[in-house]
Chain A
């Protein structure tokens, strides 16, 4: 079936560097995308979202880019900090009628002090 996937299972970055986490999606009908951060022993935490009528959205230290042509989503974290170490999931809305989302398998971000 259609699913959301990630290119890299683990990403190691030096503290202070920028991080880029990538995600591919397969359903061209998806119109809403979300990035979540999950720390060990906790539930996923909303980071930032983007709708399909946008190609870029910025938050505090985070930017999400959406390329609908190649069905690609990325999360950029500026000046990565040790507290950013976690698993990051992209998720897509497939139903449109309510907020059910489908999650990918995640990328583990390790920040090296």
Chain B
């Protein structure tokens, strides 16, 4: 597609439930990033992929967060045993290797109740 696509657009999860958030990057983009954005805050880095390799996962807040990109295109961010503090917008971005500025998707708004 022409842009970065994320699904679902909205997700409501009960506390303790597992969720999976999907990101379809721009075709051919090597780099893929996940960010977490709390209300009224700037996006916070979670993890980075170059093709299928996860090169940086230093921003993942706990071992309940897991991301994968098995074929170097679509990526999934999984959150196990969701907690209320996980409520946020999860943004995915992709870029060509060496290019400036990412292209972001519209995000998935996760609400944990």
* Residues of A in contact with B (beta carbons under 8 Å apart): 4, 32, 34, 36, 41-46, 49, 89, 91, 98-106
Q: Is the CB of A98 within 8 A of B104?
A: no
Chain B interface residue count, Cβ-Cβ cutoff 8 angstroms: 26
Q: What distance in Å separates the Cβ of B46 from its nearest Cβ neighbour in chain A? A: 10
Q: Is the CB of A106 within 8 A of B106?
A: no
Given A42-B106, A98-B48: A49 and B101 interface contact (C-beta under 8 Å): yes
Q: Is the CB of A98 within 8 A of B43?
A: no
Residues of A within 8 Å of B48, CB to CB, are 98, 100
Mark B32-49 against chain A: 1 for CB-CB distance below 8 A, else 0: 010100001111110010
Q: What distance in Å separates the Cβ of A12 from its nearest Cβ neighbour in chain B? A: 17
Contact of B105 among A43, A100, A105 (CB under 8 A): A43
| Any A CB within 8 A of the CB of B2 | no
The majority secondary structure among interface residues of chain A is strand
Residues of B within 8 Å of A100, CB to CB, are 33, 45, 48, 56
A6, closest chain B residue (CB)? B42
Residues of B within 8 Å of A41, CB to CB, are 106
Q: Is the CB of A105 within 8 A of B4?
A: no
Q: What distance in Å separates the Cβ of A61 from its nearest Cβ neighbour in chain B? A: 17
Q: 5 closest Cβ contacts across the A-B interface? A: A43-B104, A103-B42, A46-B101, A49-B100, A103-B43
A5, closest chain B residue (CB)? B42
Q: What distance in Å separates the Cβ of A67 from its nearest Cβ neighbour in chain B? A: 20
